[in-house]
Structure formats: C-alpha cells, structure tokens
Structure 1
C-alpha cells in the first residue's frame, strides 16, 4: 500500500551523514533573515496585532506599515552596530511602495532574496501557470532593480503548491527557504534539476513566536540565546545551520528591539567560533563542496 509523499528528498538521520565544515573550520552557520513585506490596503492577507475588523482594517494595516517606515530602519542600525550581515527577503512591489527601503539594505551589501510580489497573497493556492507568472514577475523586478537575479526564494506565508520547487528550479533559483524539516541544507528533487533547501526557522521566527504563541519580546530573545548556545554545543559533532527570522513591524518595536539587541549581541560575541553569514553563502558553500544531491 502506498501513502502520499512529497517525493522531494529521502529520509536521512543526522548522525548517519558525512561530517563537513563551514568556512574557516566552523561548524555552526548563523544567518539573520529579515522579511521586508508590503500589504494591500483594504483587502488581502496580513498578520494581525489584534483581531481584524471590517475592511479597511486600519489597526493592522497601519501596524504593518510602521515596520517599513520605522522598524526596518532601526533594525538596519542594529545590524550596522553589530556588523551583522542579513538575508533580506523582499516582496518585489516594495520598490514602488517604499522607495529607498531595499536600497538601504543593498548599500550594506546584504543578500536580496525573492519573497514574491506582496504578502497580501499566497502562491500555494494558484494554478501552475498563474504561479509561474507570479514567480516570473517578482524575479524580473528584483533582477532589474538589483542588476542580477536572486539566488533564493521564500514564498509569501511559507506557501507552496505541489509544483513550487519545480517552478523555482525552472526559473533559475538555486535554493529555497520554505521548508523547516532539517538543520542542514537538503537537496530537493525537481522535474529538471536539484534545488537546495536551506533551513529556515519556524520556531525562532517572530510571527509564530509572538503573534501566534503570544511570547513576549524577551521570551523570543531568550529563545534565540538558548537555541544558539545549544546549537553551538551540538555543532561539535555535525555542521548545522541556525536561522533567525525577523519582521520589522514586530521586533522593530522598541520594547522588543531592546531584548533582541541583547540576543544578537550574544551571538556576535561568538563570531570567532561561528560563521555569521547569509542563506545564499550557505547554499554556495554546499554547491562548492559538492555535497551529494541525494
């Protein structure tokens, strides 16, 4: 009897895998994923600070808009103060909606990652041709604005259809971030060529933690510290990836920014023992090392 399966990768137990190093002989790679997102006024999807009322839902729309107007800039300053690189996950419509915002992170040398057109929509509920067109539109905008195609993709709302990995590979993407099934990068099978899944956090992610589980900013920051300390110890026996997912309208708020600063300062203080990097650099290292494609 056969049961439903995604067919993208086989089961693999972490202790049974080959051991390798990140650059400099490090064993723990840490990256910060900053989600820069735009939303529709009066319609569409969006995270909620409080249960939304009838549209236009001004309370939640304005809260999210604050993140692009204020919170993102405070996070930029924090990253600058700690000399932290970032993978910036970008809705392509932001170039028009918030001129200068993505450019400010580009000026830092941060990686720009595809994140759909807007977070007012999901791609997983689209038919294949509509999804292909959405990926193509977002990719074309990022390529035009950044002067090169993005290497990685995170779907809006971590949403995938059954063919998303295939479509991303066919669109030229080298890695995706939607799956949180492992602490090491995993090669996915597609109908054309393998694409790499780089671990992306759903636990150390401020939307599930703060919006869904109702953790405080200090709870979230302590989770980052505890997760980092444990993964650093665990990485003695295997190379690991730790991601931290942030949204400016949540952790850019002053009462959450202060404990987040403490958590990221704790991590930065260990930079001699870890690889502070980007998701794209992690993917490039796996490709260069020739890690088997499953």
Structure 2
C-alpha cells in the first residue's frame, strides 16, 4: 500500500450530488487576491529575474524585492479600481505583516466588504519548515492580527507558498478555521478529516493563477486573460451538460496582475464573467463555505 494522507476518500466525478448554488446556479466563481509582504534582504519571494533565491546573486536582491513591492504600492490599488468598476467581491488572502506595512490597503478592502482570509505572516517563510509548535505559533499570530483589526477571526486559510506540514490541517481546525485553500485536487468543495473535526477544502487554482502562469510558464498578459475566460466558458458548458456544481477560483497577485498591460487584458476577461451574473454565482470563498453548510448531509464529498 502506498502511503496516504488519510484526509479524504475518492469519489468518482459522475457520482457527485447535483446540488445548486444560490440563484440555482451550477457554477460559483470567486477571486482570490493575494496581498503579500516580503522581508528585505532575506527569505523567500517570487522572482522577475534570477536573483538571490535561485542562485542568481547575493542579498539584498533589490530588483525582485522592489518588483514585489510594486504590488502593494500601486498594483493592488489599480486592481481595486477594477473590482469596484465591475462590482466584484474578493477573498483577500492576507499576510498579516500588511497591517503594519500598508494598513490603508487592507482598510480599502475592508471598506468594500471583502472577505479577509489568513495567508500567514509573510511570504518570506514556509510554515512546512517549522516544527509543530512553531507552526501553531505562526497560525496563531496571523489569526490574532486579523481578528484584532477586522473584529472577527478569519475562517479560511491559504498557506504561504501553499506549504503544509503533515499536521497543518489539524492545526488549522484546532485554531478555529473552517476551510482551507491549500488543496487543489478537485473542482468542488471536499470535506477533509482532521483530529479536530472536518475542514472544508475549497478549490483554489494552481492553473488559473498568475504566478504559475506568468512567472513559471512565462505566459503573456493576453494568454493569461484568455486562460481565465476559456476556463470560465468551458466550466459553464460542463455544468450545463452534467449538472454537477463546480467552484472556479481565480488567483491574482497585485505585483503581477497589477502591471498595467496585464491589468488591461484581465479587465476584458473579468468583464465577460461579470456580464454572466444571471447564470453564475459570483461570491467569495467564505460564501462557498456558508452555502455548503446549508446543504443536506452527504451532498458534499
């Protein structure tokens, strides 16, 4: 027998329950906006060009640090303008370090009623490298900061770099989290087993995601926007054909998608999605959780 995580079982796709989202929609769409802050001169970070993290030069890696910082200083504000223009909600995946570094940016998302979900302290670290006690502290510190500033604890979590230890789902459930975005194994929410009870895995994309698309595969702005729209249109056809509900996430990082030429391309794709509101449910990850909790037992795998 192969080693297994033991978190969920296998359910064939054709055998899934045919439940519906609000408005009798079969497709739910949400935007995951990653607000991330990085340490200067140390730690992890995506790279525009080969830098210190990939052996391209010593720290401080000014080029890549400044490129990422553009997201918080400019790109995120441009993305906010686009979301406001199209009346699109967002789930903000928040490094809690942003409360100290760019509090006005978090406040702008708060003012528009966006969901704030946990995304660690900073993307300069991976929680999978920590022992259980240290990982518990990381989750607790990030959670406490969000609860203190937002007046309510976050219900969802995305690990920095989607990095998990073997006990991360257990620690999240023990800390009061109701859903995780770490597992990209399905197009539907799936209940996961933890030592503290069930934790809902909500689909978070690793394909329709600007980091793997732009940074890893080197896709252009038009290619990424076309990917978003093609994913959406194909899913609409699938749910109309088989009646099996789906969740489509779109993962965005302001230092990438907030570059003007990429934002211009994205605008076309998001405008097309927004125009189909009557056919799809545009929501947040937390909204997906809320609806799942109203479904009859056994509806969700």
Q: Tell me which residue corresponds to 2:257.
A: 251
Give 3-state SS (helix, strand or coil) of 2:14's partner. helix
CA distance in 1, matches of 2:250, 2:191: 21
The residue number in structure 1 matching 2:160 is 156
Cα offsets for 1:115-134 (capped at 9, x unmatched)? 00000001111110100010
- Counterpart in the other structure of 2:11: 12
Match of 2:245 in 1: 239
For structure 2, the 5+ residue unaligned runs are: 52-56
- CA–CA separation in structure 1 for the residues paired with 2:36 and 2:259: 16
| Structure 1 position 227 matched with structure 2 position 227 | no
Counterpart selection for 1:115 from 102, 109, 119: 119
Query: What is the total number of aligned residue pairs between the two structures?
Result: 293
In 1, the alpha carbon distance for the partners of 2:132 and 2:202 equals 23
CA distance in 1, matches of 2:126, 2:11: 30
In the alignment, the residues of structure 2 paired with residue 283 and residue 76 of structure 1 have an alpha-carbon distance, to the nearest angstrom, of 24
Cα RMSD after superposing both structures: 0.8
Q: What TM-score do the two structures reach when normalised by structure 1?
A: 0.98
Deviations 1:154-213 (A, max 9, x none): 000001100000000000000000111000000000012000000000000000000000
Per the TM alignment, residue 291 of structure 1 is displaced from its structure 2 partner at its CA by: 4.2
**Partner secondary structure for residue 272 of structure 2:** helix
Q: How far is the alpha carbon of 1:35 from its aligned partner?
A: 0.1
1:277 aligns with 2:276: no
Tell me, in whole angstroms, the C-alpha distance in 1 between the residues paired with 2:89 and 2:218: 28
- Tell me how far 1:290 sits from its aligned partner: 3.6
In 2, Cα distance between the equivalents of 1:274 and 1:33?
17
How many Å separate the matches in 2 of 1:280 and 1:126? 28
Moved over 3 A (4+): none
1:128 aligns with 2:127: no
- CA offset digits 1:87-137 (Å, max 9, x no partner): 000000100011211110010000000000000001111110100010001
Structure 1: where are the runs of 5+ without partners?
none
Q: Partner residue of 2:24?
A: 25
SS at match of 1:124: helix
Equivalent position of 2:143 in the other structure: 139
TM-score (ref. length: structure 2): 0.96
d(CA) in 2 for partners of 1:112, 1:99: 13
Which of 166, 176, 179 is the aligned partner of 1:175? 179
Distance 1:174 1:198 in 2: 10
Which residue does the alignment assign to 2:43? Answer: 44
- CA distance in 1 between partners of 2:4 and 2:48 (Å): 36
